[in-house]
Amino acid sequence: MALRGLVFFAILLACTSVGLGLGGGWGAAGGAWVGALAWLAADLAMAARALRWLRRPARPDELLDPPELPGLWGAVIDRVRRLLRARDQQVAEAGQRMQSFLAAIQASPNGVTLLDEANRITWCNQTAAGHFGFDAQRDQLQLVGNLVRDPDFAAYLAAGDFSHEVVINGRAATSSRLARVSAQLHPYGDGQKLLLSRDVTALEQADTMRRDFVANVSHEIRTPLTVLNGFVETLQTLPLEEDERTRYLALMAQQAQRMQALVNDLLTLSRLEGSPLPGGGEWVPLAALMAQCEEEVRGLAAVLGKDLDLRCMPAPGFEVSGIGSEILSAITNLVANAVRYTPSGGTIDVSWRDRGDGRLEFSVQDTGPGIASEHLPRLTERFYRVDRSRSRETGGTGLGLAIVKHVVQRHGGELQVESRLGQGSTFSFWLPAGRFRPVPAAPVVPPAAAGAETPPQ
Ligand code: ADP
Protein backbone atom coordinates (compact mmCIF):
# COMPACT_ATOMS: atom_id res chain seq x y z
CA MET A 1 0.00 0.00 0.00
CA ALA A 2 2.86 2.33 0.92
CA LEU A 3 4.45 1.75 -2.49
CA ARG A 4 1.15 2.38 -4.20
CA GLY A 5 0.85 5.72 -2.30
CA LEU A 6 4.40 6.65 -3.24
CA VAL A 7 3.75 5.90 -6.95
CA PHE A 8 0.55 7.99 -6.83
CA PHE A 9 2.40 10.95 -5.28
CA ALA A 10 5.28 10.55 -7.72
CA ILE A 11 2.85 10.74 -10.70
CA LEU A 12 1.05 13.68 -9.09
CA LEU A 13 4.36 15.46 -8.46
CA ALA A 14 5.58 14.79 -11.99
CA CYS A 15 2.35 16.08 -13.58
CA THR A 16 2.31 19.13 -11.25
CA SER A 17 5.94 19.94 -12.14
CA VAL A 18 5.24 19.63 -15.86
CA GLY A 19 2.10 21.83 -15.46
CA LEU A 20 4.07 24.40 -13.41
CA GLY A 21 6.75 24.57 -16.14
CA LEU A 22 4.14 24.97 -18.86
CA GLY A 23 1.59 27.30 -17.25
CA GLY A 24 2.63 28.60 -13.84
CA GLY A 25 0.23 28.22 -10.86
CA TRP A 26 -2.83 27.30 -12.98
CA GLY A 27 -0.66 24.92 -14.97
CA ALA A 28 0.47 23.18 -11.75
CA ALA A 29 -3.16 22.76 -10.59
CA GLY A 30 -4.15 21.43 -14.03
CA GLY A 31 -1.17 19.04 -14.07
CA ALA A 32 -2.18 17.70 -10.64
CA TRP A 33 -5.73 17.08 -11.91
CA VAL A 34 -4.53 15.37 -15.07
CA GLY A 35 -2.16 13.19 -13.04
CA ALA A 36 -4.92 12.23 -10.57
CA LEU A 37 -7.40 11.46 -13.37
CA ALA A 38 -4.82 9.40 -15.30
CA TRP A 39 -4.09 7.38 -12.14
CA LEU A 40 -7.80 6.84 -11.55
CA ALA A 41 -8.40 5.79 -15.17
CA ALA A 42 -5.51 3.31 -15.12
CA ASP A 43 -6.70 1.95 -11.77
CA LEU A 44 -10.28 1.56 -13.02
CA ALA A 45 -9.06 -0.20 -16.17
CA MET A 46 -7.10 -2.70 -14.06
CA ALA A 47 -10.08 -3.22 -11.71
CA ALA A 48 -12.31 -3.84 -14.75
CA ARG A 49 -9.87 -6.47 -16.09
CA ALA A 50 -9.70 -8.18 -12.70
CA LEU A 51 -13.49 -8.16 -12.43
CA ARG A 52 -13.86 -9.52 -15.96
CA TRP A 53 -11.55 -12.41 -15.08
CA LEU A 54 -13.42 -13.14 -11.88
CA ARG A 55 -16.79 -13.02 -13.65
CA ARG A 56 -15.86 -15.41 -16.44
CA PRO A 57 -17.64 -18.76 -16.08
CA ALA A 58 -15.46 -21.12 -14.07
CA ARG A 59 -13.50 -23.48 -16.31
CA PRO A 60 -10.75 -25.79 -15.12
CA ASP A 61 -8.16 -23.94 -17.26
CA GLU A 62 -9.37 -20.49 -16.10
CA LEU A 63 -7.01 -20.32 -13.19
CA LEU A 64 -4.05 -20.96 -15.48
CA ASP A 65 -4.79 -17.84 -17.46
CA PRO A 66 -5.10 -14.88 -15.06
CA PRO A 67 -4.61 -11.28 -16.38
CA GLU A 68 -1.14 -9.95 -15.67
CA LEU A 69 -1.64 -6.78 -13.65
CA PRO A 70 0.93 -4.74 -11.78
CA GLY A 71 0.82 -3.64 -8.17
CA LEU A 72 -2.16 -4.05 -5.90
CA TRP A 73 -4.45 -5.57 -8.55
CA GLY A 74 -1.80 -8.10 -9.49
CA ALA A 75 -1.53 -9.08 -5.81
CA VAL A 76 -5.34 -9.33 -5.52
CA ILE A 77 -5.52 -11.53 -8.65
CA ASP A 78 -2.71 -13.72 -7.37
CA ARG A 79 -4.39 -14.12 -3.97
CA VAL A 80 -7.77 -14.93 -5.54
CA ARG A 81 -6.12 -17.42 -7.92
CA ARG A 82 -4.48 -19.21 -4.99
CA LEU A 83 -7.75 -19.33 -3.04
CA LEU A 84 -9.62 -20.68 -6.06
CA ARG A 85 -6.94 -23.28 -6.70
CA ALA A 86 -7.07 -24.42 -3.05
CA ARG A 87 -10.88 -24.59 -3.24
CA ASP A 88 -10.77 -26.59 -6.47
CA GLN A 89 -8.29 -28.99 -4.91
CA GLN A 90 -10.55 -29.44 -1.87
CA VAL A 91 -13.57 -30.06 -4.08
CA ALA A 92 -11.62 -32.61 -6.17
CA GLU A 93 -10.41 -34.40 -3.01
CA ALA A 94 -13.90 -34.44 -1.51
CA GLY A 95 -15.22 -35.83 -4.83
CA GLN A 96 -12.58 -38.56 -4.81
CA ARG A 97 -13.35 -39.46 -1.20
CA MET A 98 -17.04 -39.59 -2.07
CA GLN A 99 -16.34 -41.84 -5.09
CA SER A 100 -14.23 -44.28 -3.12
CA PHE A 101 -16.82 -44.28 -0.33
CA LEU A 102 -19.59 -45.08 -2.82
CA ALA A 103 -17.41 -47.73 -4.49
CA ALA A 104 -16.90 -49.35 -1.07
CA ILE A 105 -20.66 -49.37 -0.42
CA GLN A 106 -21.21 -50.77 -3.92
CA ALA A 107 -18.81 -53.60 -3.11
CA SER A 108 -20.69 -54.41 0.10
CA PRO A 109 -22.41 -57.82 0.09
CA ASN A 110 -25.30 -56.10 1.87
CA GLY A 111 -27.86 -53.85 0.24
CA VAL A 112 -27.65 -50.16 1.20
CA THR A 113 -30.44 -47.70 0.34
CA LEU A 114 -30.60 -44.09 1.51
CA LEU A 115 -34.04 -42.59 2.10
CA ASP A 116 -34.90 -38.94 2.69
CA GLU A 117 -37.29 -37.72 5.38
CA ALA A 118 -40.29 -38.55 3.12
CA ASN A 119 -39.02 -42.14 2.57
CA ARG A 120 -37.94 -41.37 -1.01
CA ILE A 121 -34.92 -43.20 -2.38
CA THR A 122 -31.94 -40.88 -2.74
CA TRP A 123 -29.32 -43.53 -3.50
CA CYS A 124 -28.94 -47.32 -3.49
CA ASN A 125 -26.19 -49.79 -4.28
CA GLN A 126 -26.51 -52.60 -6.84
CA THR A 127 -27.05 -55.24 -4.14
CA ALA A 128 -30.09 -53.36 -2.80
CA ALA A 129 -31.31 -52.88 -6.37
CA GLY A 130 -31.11 -56.68 -6.82
CA HIS A 131 -32.85 -57.38 -3.51
CA PHE A 132 -35.82 -55.09 -4.10
CA GLY A 133 -35.80 -54.77 -7.90
CA PHE A 134 -34.91 -51.03 -7.85
CA ASP A 135 -33.36 -49.26 -10.80
CA ALA A 136 -30.56 -47.26 -9.16
CA GLN A 137 -30.95 -44.33 -11.60
CA ARG A 138 -34.59 -44.36 -12.64
CA ASP A 139 -36.04 -44.91 -9.16
CA GLN A 140 -34.29 -41.98 -7.51
CA LEU A 141 -36.76 -39.93 -5.44
CA GLN A 142 -39.41 -42.66 -5.75
CA LEU A 143 -41.25 -43.54 -2.54
CA VAL A 144 -39.78 -46.79 -1.22
CA GLY A 145 -43.28 -47.94 -0.15
CA ASN A 146 -44.40 -47.74 -3.79
CA LEU A 147 -41.58 -49.99 -4.97
CA VAL A 148 -41.42 -52.54 -2.13
CA ARG A 149 -45.00 -53.76 -2.10
CA ASP A 150 -44.61 -56.62 0.40
CA PRO A 151 -47.38 -56.16 3.03
CA ASP A 152 -44.95 -57.02 5.85
CA PHE A 153 -42.60 -54.27 4.71
CA ALA A 154 -45.47 -51.78 4.38
CA ALA A 155 -46.59 -52.60 7.94
CA TYR A 156 -43.00 -52.28 9.19
CA LEU A 157 -42.59 -48.89 7.52
CA ALA A 158 -45.93 -47.65 8.85
CA ALA A 159 -45.34 -48.87 12.43
CA GLY A 160 -42.14 -46.82 12.73
CA ASP A 161 -40.51 -49.29 15.13
CA PHE A 162 -37.20 -50.00 13.45
CA SER A 163 -35.53 -51.79 16.36
CA HIS A 164 -35.87 -55.14 14.56
CA GLU A 165 -35.59 -56.44 11.01
CA VAL A 166 -38.35 -57.67 8.75
CA VAL A 167 -37.94 -60.67 6.43
CA ILE A 168 -39.76 -60.42 3.10
CA ASN A 169 -39.77 -62.09 -0.30
CA GLY A 170 -36.99 -60.73 -2.51
CA ARG A 171 -37.53 -59.55 -6.09
CA ALA A 172 -36.02 -62.82 -7.40
CA ALA A 173 -38.64 -64.95 -5.61
CA THR A 174 -40.98 -66.98 -7.79
CA SER A 175 -43.45 -69.75 -7.04
CA SER A 176 -40.70 -72.33 -7.59
CA ARG A 177 -37.75 -70.33 -6.29
CA LEU A 178 -37.19 -69.11 -2.75
CA ALA A 179 -35.55 -65.66 -2.32
CA ARG A 180 -35.80 -64.13 1.13
CA VAL A 181 -34.44 -60.74 2.08
CA SER A 182 -34.01 -59.33 5.56
CA ALA A 183 -34.46 -55.55 5.74
CA GLN A 184 -33.92 -53.11 8.59
CA LEU A 185 -34.26 -49.32 8.69
CA HIS A 186 -31.82 -47.18 10.68
CA PRO A 187 -32.88 -43.52 11.12
CA TYR A 188 -30.08 -40.93 10.97
CA GLY A 189 -29.48 -37.23 10.44
CA ASP A 190 -32.55 -35.05 10.03
CA GLY A 191 -35.26 -37.64 9.42
CA GLN A 192 -33.29 -39.59 6.79
CA LYS A 193 -33.09 -43.39 6.95
CA LEU A 194 -30.60 -46.05 6.02
CA LEU A 195 -32.24 -49.22 4.69
CA LEU A 196 -29.89 -52.19 5.10
CA SER A 197 -30.82 -55.46 3.42
CA ARG A 198 -29.24 -58.91 3.12
CA ASP A 199 -30.07 -62.15 1.37
CA VAL A 200 -31.16 -64.71 3.97
CA THR A 201 -32.38 -67.39 1.54
CA ALA A 202 -29.56 -69.81 2.39
CA LEU A 203 -30.05 -69.22 6.12
CA GLU A 204 -33.78 -69.87 5.90
CA GLN A 205 -33.20 -72.97 3.77
CA ALA A 206 -30.63 -74.29 6.26
CA ASP A 207 -33.08 -73.62 9.08
CA THR A 208 -35.87 -75.47 7.29
CA MET A 209 -33.52 -78.38 6.51
CA ARG A 210 -32.45 -78.54 10.15
CA ARG A 211 -36.07 -78.58 11.33
CA ASP A 212 -37.01 -81.26 8.76
CA PHE A 213 -33.97 -83.32 9.71
CA VAL A 214 -34.79 -83.24 13.44
CA ALA A 215 -38.43 -84.11 12.67
CA ASN A 216 -37.34 -87.02 10.43
CA VAL A 217 -34.86 -88.44 12.93
CA SER A 218 -37.42 -88.19 15.74
CA HIS A 219 -39.98 -89.94 13.57
CA GLU A 220 -37.54 -92.70 12.53
CA ILE A 221 -36.59 -93.38 16.15
CA ARG A 222 -40.09 -93.06 17.57
CA THR A 223 -41.51 -95.81 15.35
CA PRO A 224 -39.24 -98.67 16.49
CA LEU A 225 -39.34 -97.33 20.06
CA THR A 226 -43.15 -97.51 20.10
CA VAL A 227 -43.02 -101.08 18.79
CA LEU A 228 -40.39 -102.02 21.39
CA ASN A 229 -42.44 -100.46 24.20
CA GLY A 230 -45.49 -102.41 23.08
CA PHE A 231 -43.60 -105.72 23.23
CA VAL A 232 -42.05 -104.88 26.59
CA GLU A 233 -45.51 -104.13 28.05
CA THR A 234 -46.89 -107.37 26.60
CA LEU A 235 -44.02 -109.39 28.05
CA GLN A 236 -44.50 -107.69 31.42
CA THR A 237 -48.24 -108.15 31.66
CA LEU A 238 -49.19 -111.34 29.80
CA PRO A 239 -48.15 -114.86 30.70
CA LEU A 240 -46.83 -116.04 27.30
CA GLU A 241 -45.92 -119.42 25.94
CA GLU A 242 -42.21 -120.00 25.42
CA ASP A 243 -42.37 -119.97 21.60
CA GLU A 244 -44.41 -116.75 21.65
CA ARG A 245 -41.88 -115.13 24.00
CA THR A 246 -39.08 -116.16 21.65
CA ARG A 247 -40.90 -114.70 18.67
CA TYR A 248 -41.54 -111.41 20.47
CA LEU A 249 -37.93 -111.17 21.57
CA ALA A 250 -36.78 -111.72 17.98
CA LEU A 251 -39.08 -108.90 16.82
CA MET A 252 -37.74 -106.66 19.58
CA ALA A 253 -34.18 -107.43 18.52
CA GLN A 254 -35.13 -106.47 14.96
CA GLN A 255 -36.42 -103.05 16.08
CA ALA A 256 -33.31 -102.47 18.22
CA GLN A 257 -31.14 -103.31 15.20
CA ARG A 258 -33.12 -100.86 13.11
CA MET A 259 -32.43 -98.10 15.60
CA GLN A 260 -28.79 -99.07 15.74
CA ALA A 261 -28.49 -98.97 11.94
CA LEU A 262 -30.06 -95.50 11.95
CA VAL A 263 -27.71 -94.20 14.64
CA ASN A 264 -24.72 -95.71 12.80
CA ASP A 265 -25.72 -94.03 9.53
CA LEU A 266 -26.31 -90.71 11.29
CA LEU A 267 -22.88 -90.92 12.88
CA THR A 268 -21.32 -91.78 9.50
CA LEU A 269 -22.99 -88.75 7.91
CA SER A 270 -21.89 -86.39 10.65
CA ARG A 271 -18.33 -87.77 10.45
CA LEU A 272 -18.34 -87.21 6.68
CA GLU A 273 -19.51 -83.63 7.14
CA GLY A 274 -17.08 -82.82 9.92
CA SER A 275 -13.87 -84.45 8.73
CA PRO A 276 -11.30 -82.87 6.39
CA LEU A 277 -11.31 -83.88 2.71
CA PRO A 278 -9.45 -87.15 2.06
CA GLY A 279 -5.84 -86.67 1.03
CA GLY A 280 -4.14 -88.73 -1.66
CA GLY A 281 -1.74 -90.67 0.59
CA GLU A 282 -3.62 -93.89 1.32
CA TRP A 283 -3.83 -96.41 -1.58
CA VAL A 284 -6.22 -99.36 -1.35
CA PRO A 285 -6.33 -102.18 -3.94
CA LEU A 286 -9.74 -102.47 -5.59
CA ALA A 287 -9.57 -106.25 -5.32
CA ALA A 288 -9.42 -106.04 -1.49
CA LEU A 289 -12.35 -103.58 -1.37
CA MET A 290 -14.44 -105.74 -3.69
CA ALA A 291 -13.71 -108.95 -1.75
CA GLN A 292 -14.94 -107.32 1.47
CA CYS A 293 -17.99 -105.79 -0.23
CA GLU A 294 -18.94 -109.10 -1.86
CA GLU A 295 -18.69 -110.96 1.44
CA GLU A 296 -20.99 -108.42 3.15
CA VAL A 297 -23.66 -108.33 0.45
CA ARG A 298 -23.76 -112.12 0.00
CA GLY A 299 -24.33 -112.29 3.77
CA LEU A 300 -27.15 -109.73 3.44
CA ALA A 301 -28.76 -111.69 0.59
CA ALA A 302 -28.67 -114.83 2.78
CA VAL A 303 -30.24 -112.98 5.72
CA LEU A 304 -32.99 -111.62 3.47
CA GLY A 305 -33.46 -115.10 1.97
CA LYS A 306 -32.90 -113.79 -1.57
CA ASP A 307 -31.86 -116.00 -4.43
CA LEU A 308 -30.02 -113.59 -6.71
CA ASP A 309 -27.48 -113.90 -9.48
CA LEU A 310 -24.82 -111.57 -8.06
CA ARG A 311 -22.09 -111.17 -10.69
CA CYS A 312 -19.08 -109.26 -9.46
CA MET A 313 -16.61 -108.75 -12.34
CA PRO A 314 -13.02 -109.18 -11.23
CA ALA A 315 -11.76 -105.73 -10.29
CA PRO A 316 -9.12 -104.36 -12.69
CA GLY A 317 -5.59 -104.24 -11.29
CA PHE A 318 -6.01 -100.77 -9.87
CA GLU A 319 -5.73 -99.25 -6.47
CA VAL A 320 -7.66 -96.19 -5.38
CA SER A 321 -6.59 -93.37 -3.12
CA GLY A 322 -8.64 -91.79 -0.39
CA ILE A 323 -10.24 -93.12 2.74
CA GLY A 324 -10.61 -96.87 2.23
CA SER A 325 -13.44 -97.30 4.75
CA GLU A 326 -15.47 -94.54 3.06
CA ILE A 327 -15.06 -95.99 -0.44
CA LEU A 328 -15.94 -99.43 0.90
CA SER A 329 -19.09 -98.03 2.51
CA ALA A 330 -20.09 -96.32 -0.77
CA ILE A 331 -19.75 -99.44 -2.93
CA THR A 332 -21.31 -101.69 -0.27
CA ASN A 333 -24.30 -99.35 0.10
CA LEU A 334 -24.97 -99.42 -3.65
CA VAL A 335 -24.64 -103.20 -4.00
CA ALA A 336 -26.66 -103.75 -0.80
CA ASN A 337 -29.47 -101.56 -2.20
CA ALA A 338 -29.51 -103.66 -5.37
CA VAL A 339 -29.72 -106.82 -3.23
CA ARG A 340 -32.47 -105.35 -1.03
CA TYR A 341 -34.67 -104.03 -3.81
CA THR A 342 -34.21 -106.75 -6.47
CA PRO A 343 -36.64 -109.64 -6.02
CA SER A 344 -35.39 -113.24 -5.94
CA GLY A 345 -34.45 -114.55 -9.37
CA GLY A 346 -33.02 -111.18 -10.41
CA THR A 347 -29.52 -110.37 -11.59
CA ILE A 348 -27.03 -107.87 -10.26
CA ASP A 349 -23.90 -106.89 -12.20
CA VAL A 350 -21.13 -105.14 -10.31
CA SER A 351 -18.14 -103.78 -12.20
CA TRP A 352 -15.26 -101.32 -12.25
CA ARG A 353 -13.96 -99.97 -15.52
CA ASP A 354 -11.38 -97.50 -16.73
CA ARG A 355 -13.50 -95.18 -18.91
CA GLY A 356 -10.46 -94.12 -20.89
CA ASP A 357 -11.22 -90.41 -20.29
CA GLY A 358 -9.16 -90.26 -17.11
CA ARG A 359 -11.96 -91.55 -14.90
CA LEU A 360 -12.53 -94.83 -13.13
CA GLU A 361 -16.16 -95.93 -12.95
CA PHE A 362 -17.93 -98.20 -10.52
CA SER A 363 -21.39 -99.41 -11.45
CA VAL A 364 -24.12 -101.65 -10.09
CA GLN A 365 -26.83 -102.73 -12.49
CA ASP A 366 -29.87 -104.61 -11.25
CA THR A 367 -33.04 -106.07 -12.70
CA GLY A 368 -35.10 -104.77 -9.77
CA PRO A 369 -38.32 -102.70 -9.79
CA GLY A 370 -36.67 -99.57 -11.16
CA ILE A 371 -37.49 -96.02 -10.07
CA ALA A 372 -39.91 -93.56 -11.70
CA SER A 373 -38.15 -90.52 -13.14
CA GLU A 374 -39.83 -88.01 -10.79
CA HIS A 375 -38.06 -89.60 -7.81
CA LEU A 376 -34.57 -89.64 -9.32
CA PRO A 377 -33.53 -86.03 -8.44
CA ARG A 378 -34.51 -86.54 -4.80
CA LEU A 379 -33.03 -90.00 -4.15
CA THR A 380 -29.94 -88.68 -2.36
CA GLU A 381 -31.92 -86.49 0.05
CA ARG A 382 -31.80 -87.72 3.59
CA PHE A 383 -34.72 -90.00 4.47
CA TYR A 384 -36.16 -89.82 0.95
CA ARG A 385 -37.65 -93.17 0.01
CA VAL A 386 -39.63 -94.23 -3.01
CA ASP A 387 -41.31 -97.05 -1.18
CA ARG A 388 -41.24 -96.55 2.59
CA SER A 389 -42.45 -99.99 3.60
CA ARG A 390 -40.07 -101.85 1.29
CA SER A 391 -37.15 -99.80 2.59
CA ARG A 392 -38.09 -100.60 6.21
CA GLU A 393 -38.75 -104.31 5.56
CA THR A 394 -35.20 -104.68 4.25
CA GLY A 395 -33.60 -102.68 7.08
CA GLY A 396 -33.18 -99.40 5.19
CA THR A 397 -32.53 -96.16 7.02
CA GLY A 398 -33.14 -93.79 4.10
CA LEU A 399 -29.61 -92.44 4.50
CA GLY A 400 -27.62 -94.87 2.31
CA LEU A 401 -27.55 -92.84 -0.91
CA ALA A 402 -26.95 -89.59 1.02
CA ILE A 403 -23.82 -91.25 2.45
CA VAL A 404 -22.72 -92.53 -0.98
CA LYS A 405 -23.14 -89.08 -2.55
CA HIS A 406 -21.12 -87.46 0.23
CA VAL A 407 -18.29 -90.00 0.00
CA VAL A 408 -18.10 -89.74 -3.80
CA GLN A 409 -18.10 -85.94 -3.77
CA ARG A 410 -15.43 -85.86 -1.06
CA HIS A 411 -13.24 -87.97 -3.37
CA GLY A 412 -13.79 -85.61 -6.31
CA GLY A 413 -16.27 -87.83 -8.18
CA GLU A 414 -19.96 -87.87 -8.99
CA LEU A 415 -22.85 -90.26 -8.37
CA GLN A 416 -25.17 -91.04 -11.28
CA VAL A 417 -28.47 -92.93 -11.36
CA GLU A 418 -30.22 -94.33 -14.41
CA SER A 419 -33.46 -96.12 -13.88
CA ARG A 420 -36.83 -96.82 -15.43
CA LEU A 421 -39.86 -98.10 -13.65
CA GLY A 422 -40.09 -101.85 -14.13
CA GLN A 423 -36.75 -102.05 -15.95
CA GLY A 424 -34.13 -102.10 -13.23
CA SER A 425 -31.63 -99.48 -12.15
CA THR A 426 -27.98 -98.63 -12.65
CA PHE A 427 -26.22 -96.76 -9.88
CA SER A 428 -22.71 -95.65 -10.78
CA PHE A 429 -20.03 -93.22 -9.72
CA TRP A 430 -16.69 -92.18 -11.13
CA LEU A 431 -13.45 -91.20 -9.48
CA PRO A 432 -11.17 -88.64 -11.13
CA ALA A 433 -7.64 -89.17 -12.45
CA GLY A 434 -5.23 -89.01 -9.54
CA ARG A 435 -7.54 -91.10 -7.39
CA PHE A 436 -6.54 -94.40 -9.05
CA ARG A 437 -3.45 -96.07 -10.50
CA PRO A 438 -2.35 -99.57 -11.53
CA VAL A 439 -1.25 -101.72 -8.61
CA PRO A 440 2.57 -101.48 -8.54
CA ALA A 441 4.25 -104.74 -9.68
CA ALA A 442 5.55 -106.99 -6.87
CA PRO A 443 9.30 -106.47 -6.26
CA VAL A 444 11.48 -108.97 -8.16
CA VAL A 445 13.51 -111.23 -5.84
CA PRO A 446 17.25 -110.74 -6.58
CA PRO A 447 19.00 -113.95 -7.87
CA ALA A 448 21.53 -113.91 -5.00
CA ALA A 449 18.76 -114.04 -2.41
CA ALA A 450 16.98 -116.71 -4.47
CA GLY A 451 20.20 -118.77 -4.59
CA ALA A 452 20.62 -118.47 -0.82
CA GLU A 453 17.29 -120.21 -0.36
CA THR A 454 18.13 -123.26 -2.51
CA PRO A 455 18.98 -126.15 -0.20
CA PRO A 456 22.64 -127.30 -0.27
CA GLN A 457 23.18 -130.25 -2.63
P1 ADP B 1 -32.89 -96.87 1.98
O2 ADP B 1 -32.22 -97.14 3.25
O3 ADP B 1 -34.33 -96.56 2.12
O4 ADP B 1 -32.58 -97.88 0.93
P5 ADP B 1 -31.26 -95.16 0.34
O6 ADP B 1 -30.82 -93.76 0.56
O7 ADP B 1 -30.21 -96.20 0.21
O8 ADP B 1 -32.28 -95.47 1.50
O9 ADP B 1 -32.15 -95.18 -0.96
C10 ADP B 1 -33.17 -94.24 -1.11
C11 ADP B 1 -34.34 -94.83 -1.87
O12 ADP B 1 -33.93 -95.08 -3.22
C13 ADP B 1 -34.78 -96.15 -1.37
O14 ADP B 1 -35.73 -96.00 -0.32
C15 ADP B 1 -35.39 -96.80 -2.57
O16 ADP B 1 -36.73 -96.40 -2.70
C17 ADP B 1 -34.60 -96.23 -3.73
N18 ADP B 1 -33.56 -97.17 -4.22
C19 ADP B 1 -32.25 -97.18 -3.90
N20 ADP B 1 -31.61 -98.15 -4.57
C21 ADP B 1 -32.52 -98.75 -5.34
C22 ADP B 1 -32.50 -99.83 -6.28
N23 ADP B 1 -31.35 -100.49 -6.57
N24 ADP B 1 -33.64 -100.19 -6.89
C25 ADP B 1 -34.79 -99.54 -6.62
N26 ADP B 1 -34.90 -98.52 -5.75
C27 ADP B 1 -33.79 -98.14 -5.11
Whether residues 427 and 327 share a domain: the answer is yes
- Rounded to whole angstroms, the Cα distance separating 420 from 368 reads 10
Q: Which of 68, 85, 101 is the last residue of a domain?
A: 101
Q: Is 379 in the pocket of ligand 1 (CB under 6 A)?
A: yes
Whether residues 233 and 116 share a domain: the answer is no
pLDDT at 350 over 70: yes
Q: Which of 274, 296, 312 is the last residue of a domain?
A: 274
Note whether 111 and 125 are within 8 A (CB): yes
Whether residues 390 and 346 share a domain: the answer is yes
Residue 448 lies in a domain: no
Q: State residue 211's pLDDT score.
A: 94
Share of the chain above pLDDT 90, in %: 68
Which region, left, alpha or beta, applies to residue 276 given φ > 0 means left and ψ of -120 to 50 means alpha?
A: beta
- Rounded to whole angstroms, the Cα distance separating 84 from 56 reads 13
Whether residues 413 and 376 share a domain: the answer is yes
pLDDT at 95 over 50: yes
Q: Which amino acid is at 46?
A: M
Q: State residue 282's pLDDT score.
A: 85
pLDDT at 1 over 90: no
Whether residues 165 and 249 share a domain: the answer is no
pLDDT in tens, 118-127: 999 999 999 9
Residue 129 lies in a domain: yes
Q: State residue 279's pLDDT score.
A: 85
Residue 457 lies in a domain: no
Q: Mean pLDDT over all residues of the chain?
A: 90
pLDDT at 4 over 70: yes
421: DSSP letter: T
pLDDT at 165 over 80: yes
Whether residues 335 and 428 share a domain: the answer is yes
Substitution site in 389, 391, 392 for ligand 1 pocket (most atoms within 8 Å of beta carbon): 391
Residue 452 lies in a domain: no
Whether residues 429 and 303 share a domain: the answer is yes
Q: Which of 66-75, 331-340, 427-436 has the lowest mean pLDDT?
A: 66-75
Whether residues 309 and 434 share a domain: the answer is yes
Q: Is 339 in the pocket of ligand 1 (CB under 6 A)?
A: no
Residue 455 lies in a domain: no
Count CB atoms within 10 A of the CB of residue 125. Answer: 23
Whether residues 294 and 431 share a domain: the answer is yes
Q: Whose CA is nearest to atom 4 of ligand 1?
A: 396
Residue 446 lies in a domain: no
pLDDT at 74 over 90: no
Q: For residue 261, what are the domain limits?
A: 206-274
The count of domains in the chain is: 4
Q: Which amino acid is at 45?
A: A
pLDDT at 234 over 90: yes
Whether residues 256 and 302 share a domain: the answer is no
Q: Is 425 in the pocket of ligand 1 (CB under 6 A)?
A: yes
pLDDT in tens, 126-144: 999 999 999 989 999 999 9
Region 219-248: what's the mean pLDDT? 92
* CA-wise closest residue to 402 among 427, 378, 430: 378
Whether residues 379 and 408 share a domain: the answer is yes
Q: State residue 62's pLDDT score.
A: 56
Q: Whose CA is nearest to atom 18 of ligand 1?
A: 337
Residue 456 lies in a domain: no
Q: Which of 274, 295, 317 is the last residue of a domain?
A: 274
* CA-wise closest residue to 337 among 404, 263, 256: 404
Of 28-32, 187-191, 446-450, which one has max mean pLDDT? 187-191
